[in-house]
Structure 1
């Protein structure tokens, strides 16, 4: 797909995506339609879902954006040809006579028959340097694993889970204070630029497609809420990554033991921490609040992975949220007497 000849027929593009990550790419394609010589003939997205305290049906960010620009929106529940609705969805897709389909965090499995419907197939905007992280949560998993680099891969989709040939890759160095929220926004912007680059000359990139090495692949499984609970016996470095990788969802949390033993431990969300200071160690039991200061709350963690004979590591927490309260920084915690030296963070079962 090249824009060298402005007199050629516009390429018919279908976009499939659901969350804000996908909406950023859709916005870029809408803005670049003339330059790319494309026409976005339809947008596919997940059905409206109940959201918020009122549980009102809410359109996805992609649907909202499409409607703002007068683009037809399709919201099939399935593409399985074994059911009537799925066959109708396939027939509807084919009726658009798409040249290419761009997919970004759509959330619906596309069978091989769907992948083969567009003339040039389906392109996926994936937030990882494939094959490093395949699956639903590549941004979270990159942070949790301590990866120094991630990026965007534009992939030619096939019947496997993120196994298709790689057309274009853009790397990004992960900052030391990166959270899932901040990295998500950067990957969304990078993905938008990447798909525009590929669509400027799709035949060029498809001709140079590179197969993935399955031996280098990892599965980025969707996170569960239980993964957010902090195990203070782990080294501070791992816990600090967990806090960043879980922000904003599903969130890192711990439980504060009642010093009087009159009630159950109280849940506390841990929203932010400072980078680990390797030289700051302690002999205190992991989970113990060493000190409550205006700048940070120092908590004992486990021994470093590389040195089992070393003293326990420590972590400086800077932002917490106690049950039923708003988020507070360390200084507010200090003034509010919500934590005291020698308080104990414990497992949920304790």
Structure 2
């Protein structure tokens, strides 16, 4: 099939590479415009744009797809000229307007990292970990005017491990989901896929803000453990001590932890424990403001914690 791929961040790169390596032809990519990154705040192309350039694939970077904008008019004309059979999508980051949905015979096919209709929205991987799901997966579906509501083309399941961070789980899903997207393109081409409506109650995973990642130490230890893993590495779970914001790496659940009130810190020579709404957890690593992640015990020795010091 003749494809125009739409995507922007690192997880989309895996799927794009798998499509490039497949029997299908990627004739162009749609991605977000270059963005400022790093200390110098210089402009850099997206991860998808970089990979496409390495393979000599045309890159389209519209700031918007709105029909009445200059970018929108230009991209419509170019898509008509490219005449793709399908537009596979992975984390593109822009709203696809109604008039564009029928620009290709097989439409726009999104790879979403959940088992729809569970966790529609921007942060399905984080939501699955945070809420304690044991199984998640990936879904390819045809994009329509709703929020992740289109007909399902194919799915796969993925176990969530008790130590998974969002990064761990997303990496596995990026690779297995990339294979699923290739298989979906092949199935659409040879007619072996029968689209199915989404069945069951929908749940939603909205975009995560920094405030959402704040740790509530009054919650049970298991909930705090999932919360931290769900927000690792981005935006990073955090707490405060004396008005300083500290990021907290995934914790250990230990039956040997001391009895502590929620948020109260107990620092020994080799371990730091923090009270929760149930049993205390062991904090393994902490990132103080302006510094790199470090062992929690080293941090505690350096800050000379007062008795009954407490995270808020």
TM-score (normalised: structure 2): 0.94
CA contact (8 A) 1:290 1:299 kept: yes
Identify which of 159, 169, 173 aligns with 2:155.
169
SS in 1 for 2:238: strand
CA contact (8 A) 2:215 2:224 kept: yes
Q: CA 1:207 to 1:29, structure 2 compared with 1: closer, same or farther past 3 Å?
A: closer
CA contact (8 A) 1:333 1:339 kept: no
Give 1:154-303 correspondences, 5 Å limit: 154-203=140-189, 207-213=193-199, 215-257=200-242, 265-274=243-252, 276-277=253-254, 282=259, 284-294=260-270, 296-302=271-277
Deviation at 1:340, TM superposition (A): 5.8
Deviation at 1:161, TM superposition (A): 1.1
Q: What corresponds to 1:8 in structure 2?
A: none
1:326 lines up with 2:292 in the alignment: yes
Q: What corresponds to 1:55 in structure 2?
A: 41
Give 1:55-204 correspondences, 5 Å limit: 55-203=41-189
SS in 1 for 2:219: coil
1:338 and 1:323 map into 2 onto residues whose CA distance is: 16
Residue-by-residue CA offset, 1:170-199 (whole Å, 9 max, x unaligned): 100001000011111111111111112222
Deviation at 1:230, TM superposition (A): 1.3
CA contact (8 A) 1:240 1:273 kept: yes
Residue-by-residue CA offset, 1:208-253 (whole Å, 9 max, x unaligned): 211113x521121000001121111111111111111111111111
CA contact (8 A) 1:78 1:89 kept: no
CA contact (8 A) 2:258 2:273 kept: no
Deviation at 1:293, TM superposition (A): 4.4
Q: What corresponds to 2:18 in structure 1?
A: 28
Q: CA 1:228 to 1:205, structure 2 compared with 1: closer, same or farther past 3 Å?
A: farther
1:246 and 1:211 map into 2 onto residues whose CA distance is: 31
Flag structure 2 segments of 5+ consecutive residues without an equivalent: none
2:230 and 2:191 map into 1 onto residues whose CA distance is: 33
1:136 and 1:60 map into 2 onto residues whose CA distance is: 18
Q: What corresponds to 1:14 in structure 2?
A: 4
Instruction: Name which of structure 1's ranges 45-54 and 324-333 shifts more when overlaid on structure 2.
Output: 324-333
SS in 2 for 1:345: coil
Residue-by-residue CA offset, 1:11-30 (whole Å, 9 max, x unaligned): 21110100011111001111
2:102 and 2:204 map into 1 onto residues whose CA distance is: 25
TM-score (normalised: structure 1): 0.84
Instruction: Name which of structure 1's ranges 200-209 and 186-195 shifts more when overlaid on structure 2.
Output: 200-209
CA contact (8 A) 1:293 1:334 kept: no
Higher alpha-carbon Rg: 1
Question: What is the alpha-carbon root mean square deviation over aligned residues?
Answer: 1.9
Q: CA 1:208 to 1:327, structure 2 compared with 1: closer, same or farther past 3 Å?
A: same
2:257 and 2:298 map into 1 onto residues whose CA distance is: 24
CA contact (8 A) 1:289 1:300 kept: yes
Q: CA 1:15 to 1:328, structure 2 compared with 1: closer, same or farther past 3 Å?
A: same
